Amino acid sequence: MLISIIIPSRDRALYLKYSVQTALSIQDNNIEIIISDNASTDHTREVIRGIDDTRLKYFNTNKRVSMRANFENALKASSGDYVIFFGDDDGILPLQFKFLRNILEKHKPDALSWDFLTYTWPIKDYAKKKGSLRFEHRKIYGNVLKSTKKIYLDTLLNAELGRQNYLPRIYHGCMSRKFLDKLVNNEGLYFCSRSPDLHMSFRAAQHGGNFLRINHPFTINGISPASTGGGARSLDINNKALSKSFEYKAETETDPVKDVLPLTKSMGFGFLSALETLKHHFPNPPLQVNYKKWYAFCLSTIPKGDTKIATEIINCIRLHAKNTATERELNRINPRYIYIKHKFLKFISKIRHYPFSFRVITQLNMQNNILTAVKAADIILKQDLKNIIEEKTSYKISVKNAKKRGKNLNKQLNTNKIVYFEN
């Protein structure tokens, strides 16, 4: 069984050279690693040319296309029985990969989702808690579980997107080729939204299938100022000086495949746009969306501190409600109450799980990047998942051992000073 690991990239050679090494570190000859380069103008091509590994396949779009189109090209260039996407500042855990393969070969699901770890690149003056990983007890060493139709449809229709692990995923998740071929539109396109990861997840949930999930990490989600989608939502999309967000907007506008809702600075409205675009392209089977909950989700994620942006997003929500005859659902929402409730639930979740987690600095040999983060994660997790699945040891003992290994790793550093990554 061939597994395709796909990394779409654009002008991020400094991150990509470490990200691709995490995949190349996998001791498995039955994989292919696809780099889909969106006409990078940096030294991305040279980075890939310097790698001697027959499993690596490099493709260049030769002209700048949208993120959606790059995902589309990458998937069509792959040939694996199963497909995994992750970003060029992300990583995959080599030691845990064999357990991922075992699950796929044993159960042959249409899709498998998992709990990924999160790593913030140690860029100076960028974000907090950088250069480290936080391990939550409930997100390591879980058993393989079946995601029922009620669970994943309820998650989608009621905007319960804090439970995204219950949705099938191709980005930081895995889908079979046979299943993917059932999801194309009339034009043979796999991705039909400017948010290709969301579209594929929502489309799979709409179609239904044999979906599995596991509370265990196989990948690490990297957070950096270079992230395309994140940059588009966190910056002023109308400011040419802020190139990441402006380029994302410009490339999206040139794509003939359009979303039905406008691009805004709101993460929540972006999710709603992906859902409404899905309904446009695939009206059957119809989705009975709970718009009251979706509008509440959108309102709870509006960025604070910028009245102009907030007003723009609220107007977009109101226009959508008018066009879909769902104004009644919108009017039943108290925005202030929604915002306070959202903040409260986030706080409660944090204090509930904080005592049952531990943080590990991912600095090895005076380096700190996604490759060292992956190595640190594999050192901590080891091969205990196999023993859990085979019921040779208990979850409690495995978590205790992982925590002990994390403490030992932190002690070996002999310093709390983070080595910054030169962005």
So what's the pLDDT on residue 390?
86
Q: At what angle do helices 67-77 and 196-207 cross, to 10 degrees?
A: 60
CB 251 within 8 A of CB 305: no
Neighbouring residues of 290: CB distance < 8 A, sequence distance ≥ 6: 157, 158, 159
Dist. CA 342–CA 337, nearest whole Å: 9
pTM above 0.85, yes or no: yes
- Taken in order 90, 96, 97, 102, the sign of the CA dihedral is negative
3-state secondary structure of 220: strand
So what's the pLDDT on residue 241?
43
Q: DSSP H helical segments within 282-383, as ranges? A: 291-300, 307-323, 327-331, 335-353, 370-381
So what's the pLDDT on residue 352?
63
Task: Pick out the chain residues at pLDDT < 70.
Answer: 163-164, 227-245, 335-339, 341-355, 413-416
So what's the pLDDT on residue 123?
92
Angle, alpha carbons 70-206-3 (nearest 5°): 45
pLDDT per residue over 229-275, tens digit each? 555 444 454 544 445 667 788 889 999 999 999 998 888 999 999 99
So what's the pLDDT on residue 338?
67
Q: Where are the domains of the chain?
A: 3-223, 259-352
So what's the pLDDT on residue 353?
62
So what's the pLDDT on residue 411?
84
So what's the pLDDT on residue 250?
85
pLDDT per residue over 23-53, tens digit each? 999 999 999 999 999 999 999 999 999 999 9
Please state whether the peptide bond connecting residue 285 to the residue before it is cis, i.e. omega within 30 degrees of 0. Answer: yes
Q: Where are the beta strands (DSSP E) in 285-401?
A: 357-361
Count helices and strands in the chain by DSSP H and E runs:
17, 13
CATH number attached to the domain at 3-223 = 3.90.550.10
Neighbouring residues of 160: CB distance < 8 A, sequence distance ≥ 6: 154, 293
Polymer length of the chain: 423
Dist. CA 212–CA 260, nearest whole Å: 31
So what's the pLDDT on residue 417?
74
Which of 36, 77, 87 has the alpha carbon at shortest distance from 59? 36
So what's the pLDDT on residue 348?
67
